[in-house]
Amino acid sequence: MKNIKLLLLFLLSLTISINTVFAQEEEEAVFSFSGSVDTYFRQNITAPNKPVDGAAPGSSFANTPGFALGMVNLIASGEKGKVGFTADLGFGPKGADAVFLSSGSSSIVNQLFAYWNVSDKVTLTMGNFNTFLGYEVISPTANFNYSTSYMFSNGPFSHTGLKADIALSDNFSAMLSILNPTDYTELNPFGTYSLGAQLGYSNDAGSAYLNVIYGDQDGTLNGRTASMGDISSGATFQVDLSTGWDVSDQFYVGFNGTYNTTNAGEYFDGNIQNMDEDAAGFLGSALYLQYAASDLAAIGIRGEYFSTYLGDVNANIMAITLSGNIGVGPLTLIPEVRLDMSSEDIFIDTDYMSANNLASFVLAAVYGF
Domain locations along the chain: 34-368
Identify whether the C-beta of residue 164 lies closer than 8 Å to the C-beta of residue 124: yes
C-beta of residue 89 within 8 angstroms of C-beta of residue 109 = yes
- Contacts of residue 345, Cβ cutoff 8 Å, sequence gap at least 6: 354, 355, 356
Distance (Å, whole) CA 365 – CA 70:
10
Distance separating alpha carbons of residues 302 and 340, to the nearest angstrom? 12
pLDDT of amino acid 283:
95
What is the DSSP annotation of 222-245? TTS---TT-EE--EEEEEEEEEEE
Per-residue pLDDT, 2:
53
* CATH top class, domain 34-368: mainly beta
- Hey, is 211 helix, strand or coil? strand
The rounded distance, in Å, linking the Cα atoms of 178 and 171 is 24
Contact 357, 342 (CB under 8 A): yes
pLDDT in tens, 73-94: 999 999 999 999 999 999 999 9
Q: Assign 315 a pLDDT band (cuts: 50, 70, 90).
A: confident
pLDDT digits 0-9 by tens, 182-210: 999 899 998 899 999 999 999 999 999 99
Per-residue pLDDT tens digits for 144-196:
999 999 999 998 999 999 999 999 999 999 999 999 999 998 999 988 999 99
Single pTM value for the model: 0.87
**How confident is the model at residue 22, as a pLDDT?**
47
